[in-house]
Every structure is written in structure tokens, then in C-alpha cells.
Amino acid sequence: MQPSIFNVRVPLEAAGEVFLMNTFTDAQLIVSSDVADLLDKVEQQGTNGWTSDERDALTTLAENGFIVESRDADWNNVHQYFQSVRESRDQLRMTVLTTLQCNFACDYCIQGDHGDYNKTAAKMSLETAARVAAWAERRLDDLGARSYALTFFGGEPLLNLPVVYYLAERMWNACQTRGVSMLINIITNGLLLTPEVVDRLVPFGLNGVKITLDGDRDTHNRMRPLRGGQGTFDKIINNVRQIAHKTRVAIGGNFDMETADSYPALLDFLKEQEFADQLSKVAFKPVIREPKTPQAPPLPGSKFIRLTAVGESKPLGGACMSSAGAAVSTTSGCDSCHMLDDQMSFLREETRKRGFPTVDGVHMGPCEIHRRHAHTISPDGSLYACPGFAADATQSVGHIDGRTETRRAEATSRFEALAAWKECSDCAFIPVCAGGCSVAAYTELGTIDKPNCHKPAMEAGLIALAHRTAAERTAVAIN
Ligand code: SF4
Ligand code: SF4
């Protein structure tokens, strides 16, 4: 008998109470400190010498996973869990990049330069879309999946509406025929998101849209201008106003060291809007930029956020490059990377203070890349392990036409072996983090085999969760 590796605890202000959580079972308890102390004693004392009250407490702790047979049992559980996530056939997930073109010119964008890129970047043809749909139908049949999640992403996915409409309708019919439930999500900059688009997709299972706002009006207009330089904030807000009652709308945002301070003003602005109560989620993530010198220390005054390998100076940083599937999908793992130590925790609490649903900063993974039956498909039909890698052809793991090529086979092997969390020692957050975002690790560290880590942000999320849970319990008691 011994305490689980995945126990975390937060002392509460109330005299002698402790918030206990096990990140594997997700059990959460508020107990007196002497009960929490039992966890420290259990390893030395074994099964003998306990009072009957202590035995009762130990039984409760064991039932909730705080006490396990052995460390091996803990590790076996977590290995099996990751394996079951990886192999789950319940849902087929597809993120389709309808185009890599974009009408915005965001300075930080992962998908290409900002010169003639818009004219030359790939766009899926209807002929390719038909082959994608046929491939997806075969995958549904092979898997016997009960549900199908289709996410449109880009570039700006709504620049290719014919493909969006074609795939939505054809896959809806394919799912209906097979008795499979279907959801559509769209990750968009929001500029072309009109009521007509939403009305057209609702009958095919539109679940929600995620729109990016990069700070308050001035900051957003600076960060996310049109290619001609004009601001986009007012137009996007006007579009949200028109569609918020028709589908779920989540707001995301990408911040860096310079822009994080503008987000409270954005939150205040959103709170004043008539659609505020209809926002399904509000969550922000840090911009990840490729370092000029891998693993170089941050430059003094640098506005970019650096991600650091575990064990080297300040730990961690995970951030989803894509947010694909995030925020509007309850099953998405992409929210798993919304962290950046102080700024991340600060913005999360500012968001919560204003009453918006957001991520809790603790339950973050494992994300899409850990699922065998989650696919990202680029405009030419190439397959990727996750949207964050889709701008890099060397990371393609296959093609819808089944072609076999050495480079894709090698990439497949790399992603099959993905288990960066094995380098996380006995971190208690492994079940809810899985080593963080592999795209961030690759971008910053040049490898997917190392974790990237925002443990301080997870710890801050845990502390906030503990205090919220204690406050809710008090409120219930008072009522
Ligand atoms: S599991 Fe996550 S929080 Fe823990 S060391 Fe690994 S990357 Fe960091
Ligand atoms: S590896 Fe990163 S970008 Fe890819 S799905 Fe996971 S969180 Fe998202």
C-alpha cells in the first residue's frame, strides 16, 4: 500500500483543511490535515496499527485512488489509460484544412509568409474533397465508430466554402446512413462567418465555431490585420452578434508578453455584449515562435515566450498551435495546452471572474496527437498527426490515396512512438498533461520526444480549482 504518484494537495485557509486531488482518477476531496497526513504515513506503516477511524479514512482514500497497491500499479494504470485513449474507436475525428490561404496577415502565423502567400497557398479542390469523403467513409466502416467529428481549419477555412459545404453535406449523409452521430466545428478568424454560412451548416450537425480575438480592439487590429492592413475587430464582433443565437461560439486568443495585458479590456468588452451569455468558452493561449537559436535563453526584454525543456531552468510551456477542435468540443484535447505560467493563470482567472466558461488549467490532455483515429488532412490529401504539424510536409504520416513513401513511413514511426511524458519522471500531472504540446516541443526544442512543460501554470490552476471547490462547498453549506 502506498500513496499514488498522481496525488496533488493544496492546503486551504480554513483551519487544517487540505484539498486532495488524484489526477488519474480525477477524485477531489477536502479533508482535514490529519487525514491528508495519513498519506504520508501509509507507506511506512503498511496495513497494521491503524485505529478504526483511520482505517475508514484509508478505505475512502483507497476507493478514490489516493492509495494504490504499488508504484507499478500506478504506472500500469496510466499506461493503459494512454493506450485506451490512443486506440479508442468510438469516434473518428478529422480536421480538414480546406485551404492554407488566409485573408489575414497575422505576424505570428505558422502557415507561411505574408507576401504572395495568399495567392499561392494550397486550396483543396472539390475533386480532392470527394476523395477525402470517400476515404472518411471507409474509415468509418473500418472503425465501426459511433460518432464522427469534422473540424474545418486552415489557413482560413471559410475561404473555401464550396469544399466546406460539400464535405459537410456528404459526410452528414454518410453518417446518417451508418447510424453515426456527427458534429462539425469550425476554427475561423470570423471575418466571413455570416448567418448564411451558419444556416447552411446547422442542418449538417454544426456544433460550434471558434473565433480568435487577439486582445482588445486596438491590439487585435494590430495583431490580426487584413492583408491590406485594415483592422478586423469590429467586423468580427458584428458577425458574432448575428450568429451567437444560432450556434455555440467560443472565443480564443493568442497572446505574447506584449499583448497579454490587453486581454482584461477585451473580456470587459465581451461582458458588455448582448451575446456574452451565449459564449460557450473563452480561453487564451500563448503564441509559440520558433527560436532563432534553439534553447537559447530569453533575450532581456523579449516579448516572445520561450518554452523550456523539463529540468532546464524554468520548466515548461505547452500551447496548442492550432486549437483545432478546441473550445467548442467537449472532447478536444487541444485545450490541453492553454498555459503560460503567470500570464496564463492571470488570464484564466480574469476570464472566470467575469463569469465566462473557460478551461481550469488542470485537465489539459492527452490531446489529439495521442489518438490514432484523429487525422488532419491538408488541401492535397496528405495526412498529419495533428493540425500543428500540417504546415510541414516532412511531418506527413500518410496520404488519403494510400501511397507509401519512406519519409511518411518514417514520420509515422516517430509519431507512433510519441511518449514524451516518459521523460517527466514521476510528475503528478502526467495523466492530465501527457508531456504537453508536441508541436511546441518540436518548434522550440527540435524534437517531439521531449516534454514541454508549464508545470507552474498547472499548479496555479490546481490552487485556483482547490479554492473554488472550497468556496462552492461553503456556499452550499450556507444555503
Ligand atoms: S507531465 Fe506535464 S507538467 Fe508534468 S513534467 Fe511533464 S510536461 Fe511538465
Ligand atoms: S500536439 Fe499541440 S497542436 Fe497538436 S493537437 Fe496536441 S496540443 Fe494541439
Q: Identify the pLDDT of residue 205.
A: 97
Q: Identify the pLDDT of residue 266.
A: 97
Sheet holding 398-399, edge to edge: 279-286, 248-255, 206-212, 181-188, 147-153, 91-97, 374-377, 382-384, 398-399
Best of 341, 422, 424 for a ligand 1 pocket test (most atoms within 8 Å of beta carbon): 424
Q: What is the DSSP string of 389-441?
A: GTT-GGG--EETT----HHHHHHHHHHHT--GGGGSTT-TTHHHHTTS-HHHH
Ligand 2 centre to CA of 194 (Å) is 28
Return the ligand number nearest the Cα of 437. 2
Smallest CA separation from ligand 2 atom 5, residue: 368
Best of 437, 445, 447, 449 for a ligand 2 pocket test (most atoms within 8 Å of beta carbon): 437
Closest ligand 2 atom, residue 368 Cα: 5
**Contact between 273 and 213 (Cβ < 8 Å):** no
Return the ligand number nearest the Cα of 456. 1
Q: Is the CB of 310 under 6 A from ligand 1?
A: yes
pLDDT per residue of the chain (479 residues) written in tens, 0 to 9: 899 999 999 999 766 899 999 999 999 999 998 888 899 898 888 778 889 999 999 999 999 999 999 999 999 999 999 999 999 999 999 999 999 988 877 766 655 445 566 667 899 999 999 999 999 999 999 999 999 999 999 889 999 999 999 999 999 999 999 999 999 999 999 999 999 999 999 999 999 999 999 999 999 998 887 777 788 999 999 999 999 999 999 999 988 888 899 999 999 999 999 999 999 999 998 876 655 444 433 333 333 333 322 322 222 222 343 443 333 333 333 343 444 667 888 899 999 999 999 988 888 878 999 999 999 999 999 999 999 898 789 999 999 999 989 999 999 999 999 999 999 999 999 999 999 989 889 988 889 999 988 888 889 899 999 998 988 876 655 55
Number of H helices, E strands in the chain: 15, 14
**CB neighbour list of residue 199: distance below 8 Å, 6 or more residues apart:** 246
CA distances from 328 to 63, 252, 435 (A): 33, 10, 23
The 8-class DSSP code of residue 447 comes to -
Best of 438, 449, 450, 452 for a ligand 2 pocket test (most atoms within 8 Å of beta carbon): 438
Q: Which residue has the cell 485537465?
A: 363
Q: Which residue has the cell 479514512?
A: 57
Burial (CB count <10 Å: 0-12, 13-18, 19+), residue 343? buried
Q: Is the CB of 435 under 6 A from ligand 1?
A: yes
Smallest CA separation from ligand 1 atom 3, residue: 455
b/e 81-111 (16+ beta carbons within 10 angstroms → b)? ebeebbeeeebbbbbbbbbbbbbbbbeebbb
Burial (CB count <10 Å: 0-12, 13-18, 19+), residue 393? middle
Distance, in Å, from the CA atom of 292 to the CA atom of 313, rounded to the nearest integer, reads 18
Q: Identify the pLDDT of residue 443.
A: 85
Best of 310, 314, 425 for a ligand 1 pocket test (most atoms within 8 Å of beta carbon): 310
Q: Which residue has the cell 498551435?
A: 321
Smallest CA separation from ligand 1 atom 8, residue: 453
Closest ligand 1 atom, residue 435 Cα: 7
Smallest CA separation from ligand 1 atom 5, residue: 424
Q: Is the CB of 307 under 6 A from ligand 1?
A: no
Return the ligand number nearest the Cα of 288. 2
Ligand 2 centre to CA of 53 (Å) is 46
Return the ligand number nearest the Cα of 322. 2
| Amino acid present at 350 | E
| Amino acid present at 464 | A
Closest ligand 2 atom, residue 386 Cα: 4
Ligand 2 centre to CA of 440 (Å) is 8
On the CB side of 139, CA atoms within 13 Å amount to: 23
CA distances from 185 to 81, 169, 206, 208, 304 (A): 26, 14, 6, 5, 30
> Nearest-CA neighbor of 223 among 323, 111, 107?
107
**Contact between 160 and 122 (Cβ < 8 Å):** no
Best of 254, 287, 367 for a ligand 2 pocket test (most atoms within 8 Å of beta carbon): 367
**Contact between 156 and 188 (Cβ < 8 Å):** yes
**CB neighbour list of residue 298: distance below 8 Å, 6 or more residues apart:** 304, 306
Q: Identify the pLDDT of residue 86.
A: 95
Q: Identify the pLDDT of residue 241.
A: 97
Q: Is the CB of 383 under 6 A from ligand 1?
A: no
Closest ligand 2 atom, residue 385 Cα: 4
SS (H, E, C) 127-186: HHHHHHHHHHHHHHHHHCCCEEEEEEECCCHHHHHHHHHHHHHHHHHHHHHHCCEEEEEE
Q: Is the CB of 451 under 6 A from ligand 1?
A: yes
Distance, in Å, from the CA atom of 378 to the CA atom of 388, rounded to the nearest integer, reads 11
* Chain length of the chain: 479
Q: Is the CB of 453 under 6 A from ligand 1?
A: yes
Distance, in Å, from the CA atom of 455 to the CA atom of 318, rounded to the nearest integer, reads 9
Ligand 1 centre to CA of 236 (Å) is 36
Distance, in Å, from the CA atom of 90 to the CA atom of 147, rounded to the nearest integer, reads 6
Ligand 1 centre to CA of 247 (Å) is 35
Closest ligand 1 atom, residue 425 Cα: 5
- Sign of the CA dihedral running 188, 190, 192, 197: positive
